[in-house]
Structure 1
Amino acid sequence: MGTATTATTAEAATTDTRTGNLPEITDPTKVAPKDARQLSRLFFDQLAVLEEGTPEHAYARNTLIEMNMSLVRFAAGRFRSRGPEEMEDIVQVGMIGLIKAIDRFDLSREAEFTSFAIPYIVGEIKRFFRDTTWAVHVPRRLQEARVQLARATEELSSRLGRTPTVKELSELMSLSEDEVREARLASNGYNSSSLDAAIGGSEDGESALQDFIGNEDTDLALVEDFHALAPLIAELGERDRRIIHMRFVEELTQAQIGERLGVSQMHVSRLLSRTLARLRAGMMVD
């Protein structure tokens, strides 16, 4: 690859360009960002003419990757709040974005590589979050619809001065109203909290999330009562079962029941009281 040269400045790169050789950089990761910008242009010039698969092409490509790792660290810096363990994954994913940017960069566009690479790096990191950080797995179309929904909601809220309706969102997003509702529902799967998580501000300081959500399901007790009551009703006579049905299913008054049976309201009242007392006694046996 020509005369071995340790290049850490743009001046060294300029000298080697006239010879048509690439400078040999001992440690590309230690090249200053300012020098890396100028050296990158030299390496991209050569990368465009070198045959893919040759040692020279591999050297140029690998050096570009190592020289521009500072771009990955810069882009990943905005996500530093996610903790050191996750930052390692973020940097690795950002490197994939950097490699894609290097493989797709075209000098003829006369754009700075840094301006071209940052969106690739950040986009790859965001895609990583989208695909791996959902608390509940949802289809990718719903993950993408969630992002679209957030943007549409923000745009319409600022434009209308209020929370947009489902119909307004569906028109802006070019989706059906059912799809908008589905995207809203899918958004609930993005984050999750443990039911045992402590809630700040509670009087005892130890209350958990589960202490504040949900209610006792009284219908469960009703189900048990219905199962216990069914055989007791089956043991009643036909007239008593009919009175129970008219009073509690058809919701007739005692007077209306008396008219149907041809008896007085007082007689219906006595029959009903006697039957209910029998059923209560049967329910208490267990």
Structure 2
Amino acid sequence: MDAVTARTGTATAGQGVAEDPRAGVPFVDTPTRVSPRDARELSRRFFDRLAVLEEGTPEHQYVRNTLIEMNLSLVRYAASRFRGRGDATEDIVQVGTIGLIKAIDRFELSREVEFTSFAVPCIVGEIKRFFRDTSWAVHVPRRLQEARVELARATDELQTRLGRMPTTRELSQLMSLSEEEVVEARKASNCYTSASLDAALASESGADGESLLADFIGVEEPALELVEDFHSLAPLIAALEPREQRILHLRFVEERTQAEIGRELGISQMHVSRLISRVVRRLRTGLLGPDLA
């Protein structure tokens, strides 16, 4: 109790820890410096008080915040299990703190379990969700993320048992999934990590100079530039007269000949040609401007 007293305020002889008049709980001067052992002792009293305070009041907020700060050591303990995952430790601690807050809001003394036993799984679960939702290079459905883990375990088990790589059918039988679902899980595994298109590739011949990954994958799609043109043309076409819109539709969508269009509209083929040329010229000017049209 001496350690608790030293960290939680002044106390007169024989009276134990001084009470905080704001909330009817022990006064904690620096909650983050309370030892884990003292935090367990104090947390019981704070939870007992938290249960009777009205939510939203300054007293309730004080008790809740003090509980969070006193138990941050649980977050640091849980975060230490995830070192080496590539994410900054402070990011993991921040996520774990969310798990601690959820545990405090859900904990009930009537459970008759230590708060630490309840809180640590909540904190670890929150951190695992963080990795599951953010570590994938490409977002895939949750069921496929979970199937990937099951696939890895099943593959290791069967490889050890059979002494070779298992077949898709053998994996599907062990995992109680269809062969199509196993194949889908394998494809999803490829989405976990990715390489930058700007990644440099070493030359096999040892020649000077670097090649980029982008130089070897994908092809140029000429029609891709048309997408922007179509969006730009849409308001220009909408501003045409109905007959002009009809002529463009017959010529460039239904691919009718000028003679066929003339017969349908009751005009000569020559007139159709002049109308098309005039409309196309107007659209080109609206798209490119008068200097480039």
TM-score, length of structure 2 as denominator length: 0.58
- The separation in 2 between residues aligned to 1:202 and 1:114, in whole angstroms, is 55
CA contact 2:200–2:211 (8 Å) conserved in 1: yes
Aligned to 1:49, what secondary structure does the other structure show?
coil
| Distance of aligned partners of 1:99 and 1:153 in 2 relative to their CA distance in 1, 3 Å threshold | farther
Q: How many residues end up aligned between the 2 structures?
A: 210
What is the CA deviation profile of residues 75-124 of structure 1, one whole-angstrom value per residue up to 9, with x for unaligned ones?
Answer: 2223333557x333222111111111112223333332223222211211
In the TM superposition, residue 195 of structure 1 has moved relative to its aligned partner by: 5.3
Which of 109, 112, 132 is the equivalent residue of 2:111?
109
What is the CA deviation profile of residues 37-78 of structure 1, one whole-angstrom value per residue up to 9, with x for unaligned ones?
Answer: 221122122223333333322222111111111211222223
* 1:122 corresponding residue in structure 2: 124
In the TM superposition, residue 177 of structure 1 has moved relative to its aligned partner by: 1.5
* 2:35 corresponding residue in structure 1: 32
| Distance of aligned partners of 1:208 and 1:56 in 2 relative to their CA distance in 1, 3 Å threshold | same
Question: For residue 125 of structure 2, what is the amino acid of its counterpart?
Answer: G
- The separation in 1 between residues aligned to 2:124 and 2:205, in whole angstroms, is 43
Write the mapping of 1:220-235 to structure 2, written as runs, cut at 5 A.
none
What is the CA deviation profile of residues 151-199 of structure 1, one whole-angstrom value per residue up to 9, with x for unaligned ones?
Answer: 3334444455543332333233332211111011101010112355457
CA contact 1:8–1:35 (8 Å) conserved in 2: no
CA contact 2:39–2:71 (8 Å) conserved in 1: yes
* 1:189 corresponding residue in structure 2: 191
- Structure 2, unaligned runs of 5 or more: 218-293
CA contact 1:196–1:209 (8 Å) conserved in 2: yes
* 1:43 corresponding residue in structure 2: 46
Higher deviation after alignment, 95-104 or 112-121: 112-121
Aligned to 1:80, what secondary structure does the other structure show?
coil
* 1:8 corresponding residue in structure 2: 7
| Distance of aligned partners of 1:191 and 1:109 in 2 relative to their CA distance in 1, 3 Å threshold | same
Write the mapping of 1:55-74 to structure 2, written as runs, cut at 5 A.
55-74=58-77
CA contact 2:9–2:27 (8 Å) conserved in 1: no
Which of 64, 75, 79 is the equivalent residue of 1:76?
79
Aligned to 1:79, what secondary structure does the other structure show?
coil
Question: For residue 39 of structure 1, what is the amino acid of its counterpart?
Answer: L
* 2:240 corresponding residue in structure 1: none
From the two aligned structures, give the one with the greater helix fraction: 1
What is the CA deviation profile of residues 6-61 of structure 1, one whole-angstrom value per residue up to 9, with x for unaligned ones?
Answer: 762699796568x9930121221111222112211221222233333333222221
Aligned to 2:81, what secondary structure does the other structure show?
helix
- The separation in 1 between residues aligned to 2:191 and 2:28, in whole angstroms, is 48
Which of 20, 26, 32 is the equivalent residue of 1:23?
26
- The separation in 2 between residues aligned to 1:45 and 1:208, in whole angstroms, is 65
Question: For residue 176 of structure 2, what is the amino acid of its counterpart?
Answer: S
Higher deviation after alignment, 142-151 or 24-33: 142-151
- The separation in 2 between residues aligned to 1:30 and 1:81, in whole angstroms, is 27
Aligned to 2:140, what secondary structure does the other structure show?
coil
Aligned to 2:84, what secondary structure does the other structure show?
helix
- Structure 1, unaligned runs of 5 or more: 215-286
- Percent identity over paired residues: 68
Write the mapping of 1:176-255 to structure 2, written as runs, cut at 5 A.
176-194=178-196, 197=199, 204=206, 210=213
CA contact 2:17–2:26 (8 Å) conserved in 1: no
Question: For residue 138 of structure 1, what is the amino acid of its counterpart?
Answer: V
Q: CA RMSD in A?
A: 3.8
Question: For residue 55 of structure 1, what is the amino acid of its counterpart?
Answer: P
CA contact 2:8–2:26 (8 Å) conserved in 1: no
TM-score, length of structure 1 as denominator length: 0.60
| Distance of aligned partners of 1:206 and 1:83 in 2 relative to their CA distance in 1, 3 Å threshold | farther
Greater Cα radius of gyration, structure 1 or 2: 1
Question: For residue 7 of structure 2, what is the amino acid of its counterpart?
Answer: T
Higher deviation after alignment, 93-102 or 165-174: 165-174
| Distance of aligned partners of 1:168 and 1:23 in 2 relative to their CA distance in 1, 3 Å threshold | same
| Distance of aligned partners of 1:38 and 1:162 in 2 relative to their CA distance in 1, 3 Å threshold | farther
* 2:241 corresponding residue in structure 1: none
* 1:263 corresponding residue in structure 2: none
- The separation in 1 between residues aligned to 2:110 and 2:210, in whole angstroms, is 62
